[in-house]
Chain A
Amino acid sequence: MTHEEDQLRRRLAEFNFPGEPVDAGRAEDDLVRARSAHRRRTAAWTTATAGIVALGAGIAFAVPNFDSGAELFAAGEPNVMDEAGCGGGAPADEHLGFAGTRQCLLDVAAKHFDPERIHLPEVLGSAGTGSGEHGWRVSSKLEWQVPGESGLGMIEVAVTTPGYAEGDYAERDMASVIGCEEIADCEYQTVPGTEQQVFVAEADPARNLLLGVMYQRPDGSFTGVGVYDLFGNNSLEPVSNVDITLEQAMAFVMDPALQVDQSEIAEAEKVLAEELAAAESGQAPDEADFSSPEVIPAPAVHDMTVAEMRAAFEECIEGADDSRSFEPVLGISIETDSDLPMYMLIAERGSTKMLCDYTSAMLFGTAGVKGTPYLRGEVSSENPYFGRYTSNIDRITVQFSGEPQREAVMKDGYWYVPYEEAISGTDVMPSPAALRGYDASGELVYDSTTVDPEACYANPEGTEIVHHGTDEDSDVKDCIRMLEWDF
């Protein structure tokens, strides 16, 4: 070691670490985080494993046959559901199906929480489905509306197949559904008037959780409900209250009518097995459809005036004063039939760039904002409807699966597709998308569907890996060289 190196080593060893925050009790917090992440990962792993086992052995999951939900309960247990019960009837036509089970969840929830149907929707909520070593969990997130309010609350309801509790991670899995992030944070409570115990998560305003309850039946199945005053997926505004008491939640989870519809399990297993087989063969289970020849032309645009850019920028950064140091540099107004103001505005601070459109802002272009100055190809996307291109590109199209091609508007190295449904927040962005770039002669120069999605990328010089693909140990020589942005 040279003298200089030795000095550096000593200097580092004696470094005083200015501004070092004080740590207190963090190891326990790390354990909570690590366990939570590990639980999610393991649940995903067991899902895959269970599917493979079922497929390989040609067997179905063993699910006891119940003629009557009431048989699950010992005498004296509350049974607030009438004889009709629920389940069946609805076609299992969605991904992994369970539409009938989700209908059951909605019906039983309405019976206990909203018999007059003021708050809960008439249509099924989003599906959450998981399978473990010992059966299936079906959950559903239901919107909760309060008349006269524009916000959205949410209740998440779930039921599993019998025997589900035998899985190593079953309890944690269900606890997370009711809002109990760590088992130790929640507690068992006795249901009044019975000897039964349910697991209760207390309110946590930081997560908009009002209460959560889950119940493990003697047959090893779970039921559960989590009550939130904000449906974070669908709204930014909470409701003033979700009028569900702990007693009502207890009655819900102990309702024997809550059952996973057995007739839906076989179909779900079949879908899961197909997905696993497709994943193993490297083929997407739901093949994207980019066959439509229809082209939606790029809308007309005009350059924004300085005043228009400034007004749009101010609207964009409202509430984020830290961003006032960005300077708007480019803006185009897009003429569409939409009632929304459609525009693409670029602001810069040094090498860091900001995209503003109607609802959001995005930083890109430098490592400091977890981006890169380089392009992955002649056309490169920062998100599904915006990106940059190199100067040899004359026309760009974006095509979402099953939809026509949409021509992007292009300006000074930036492209943008005004996809109103996504921008307005009324729809999620369809995925996947095909991104194509053509030169002035009309020749296809770049086609994202031909690029290996697992590829790694190197800097333009090919000396350093900028983005690892799926292989963390990839060699820089095997990576695609990114391109300089020549605008």
Chain B
Amino acid sequence: MRSKQARADEFVTYVAARRRYLRRTAYLLCGDWHLAEDVVQAALIKLYAAWPRIRREGAEDAYARRTIIRAYLDEKRRPWRRERFGLDGVEPVQPSAPSYENTDALITALKTLPERQRATIVLRYWYGLSVDETAAELGCSAGTVKSQTARAIRSLREFLSPDDVTMEGWLS
């Protein structure tokens, strides 16, 4: 039986190696580093709880990916939460000038997509999953993945300015 210390060591080793990638994934999904951090922390808590099983199955990355996607979608779905000033804080005012988060055209464009479309794009083109794998990940049909993908790409194409397209040489 694996000791608690061994489990802790394995977990820390994995997180140290993959945390940056996981948070980047979350950032692509939500477009906000603070929220990405929250999403990753929530996902890692679940990862630790399931560690013995997923480690045995060699499914660390797949499990982490799934929990991040779900943590992100759950975060968006939470029905309501009572907030009090001075405690949990209030939705910050969006700065009028472009922030770090939206200086890049691609991330700005991604943020305009509905959450399921964004998740689809991240799974398909950041993770490189197939249509069927993405469908399994999101719990929907392959047809839905295809239509979500098509809509997302169409939106990205429309959102990005001709300069972006020309300069970056994509979606042309």
Using CB atoms and an 8 Å cutoff, list the residues of chain A in contact with chain B. Answer: 4-5, 7-13, 15-21, 23, 26-28, 30-31, 33-35, 37-38, 41, 316-320, 322-325, 352, 360-364, 367-372, 376, 381-383, 457, 464-468, 472-473
Contact = CB atoms under 8 A, between A and B. Distances in A.
Interface string B81-116: 111111000111100000111011011000000011
B28 interface: yes
A5 B84 CA distance: 44
A102 to B, nearest CB: 29
Contacts of B155: none
Contacts of B115: 367
A11 B124 CA distance: 13
B171 to A, nearest CB: 6
Given A12-B28, A12-B126, A323-B90, A31 B153 contact: no
B91 A362 contact: no
B125 A34 contact: no
Chain B: interface residue count, which band? 35 or more
Contacts, number: 162
Interface in B112-131: 115-116, 121-122, 124-126, 128
Contacts of B90: 320, 322-323, 361, 363
Given A8-B125, A18-B101, A360-B82, A369 B70 contact: no
A37 B49 contact: yes
Contacts of A41: 49
B75 A370 contact: yes
A17 B16 contact: no
Contact of A468 (B8, B37, B74): B74
A20 B24 contact: yes
Interface of B: 8, 11-13, 15-16, 19-20, 23-24, 27-28, 33, 37, 41, 44-45, 47-49, 70, 74-86, 90-93, 99-101, 103-104, 106-107, 115-116, 121-122, 124-126, 128, 139, 153, 156-157, 168-172
A399 B162 CA distance: 58
Nearest to B24: A17
Q: Is the interface of A mostly helix, strand, loop or mixed?
A: mixed
A364 B80 contact: yes
A363 B91 contact: yes
Nearest to B15: A27
Contacts of A457: 79
A18 B24 CA distance: 11
B8 to A, nearest CB: 6
Contacts of B24: 17, 20
B77 A466 contact: yes
Given A31-B15, A34-B49, A363-B90, A383 B80 contact: yes
Nearest to A473: B139
B28 to A, nearest CB: 7
B8 A35 contact: yes
Given A8-B171, A35-B48, A322-B93, A20 B19 contact: no
Given A34-B47, A38-B48, A467 B79 contact: yes
B4 to A, nearest CB: 9
